[in-house]
Amino acid sequence: MTGCGRPRTQRARQAESHQALSELQQAQPEPQQAPAELQYRQINTDHTVFFRRSGGHITMLAVYMDDMIITEDDEKEIVQLKVRLSKEFEVKDQGQLRYFLGIEIAHGLKEIVLSQRKYALDLLAETRMLGCKPDATPIDQSFRLSAEAGEPVDRERYQRLVDRLI
């Protein structure tokens, strides 16, 4: 077998996947609600993103757990929104966005570059696969799965990995 993984039984893989999906479904965040006085509408395709149109401008507000991103083409509206939010919530301005949900954001003069390099390296380190070499076929094509073969999997480690991939 090539790569760094160990073969697992198909039954073990199915049980792990079923358990992880079940726990993820139970852990889904409730849809967010923007305070009515903010006059923001929720985007239909993503319940964590809100927008407001005003005077030819659009303000976007993305909320994830206790983190929030505000973007707008009018700095004055961002300042006003921060003031209104600070009346309802504890708000700490982190300045220009540099890292959010595992994505690094680099601001250039004419572009914004998004990268998940650090996230990928952290994930490889956590799974002890940092030194592994990529392989076009990570498992021998003639390998046959068996319910009796393989070693037990660390359930918590597996669930953490699935959680980080989603």
Quick: pLDDT tens for 13-32. Answer: 445 545 554 554 455 445 45
Q: Identify whether 48 is part of a domain.
A: yes
Instruction: Determine whether 32 is exposed, middle or buried from the number of CB atoms within 10 Å of its CB (0-12, 13-18, 19+).
Output: middle
Q: Identify whether 81 is part of a domain.
A: yes
Q: Identify whether 115 is part of a domain.
A: no
**How many domains, the chain?**
1
The parent domain of residue 50 ranges over 36-95
Q: Identify whether 154 is part of a domain.
A: no
Q: Identify whether 109 is part of a domain.
A: no
Q: What is the pTM of this model?
A: 0.50
Residue 146's nearest CA partner among 13, 24, 23 is 13
> With a cut of 70, which residues of the chain have pLDDT below it?
1-38
pLDDT score, position 6: 44
Is residue 91 within 8 Å of residue 80, measured between CB atoms? no
Give every CB contact of residue 75 below 8 A, 6+ residues apart in sequence.
none
Q: Identify whether 67 is part of a domain.
A: yes
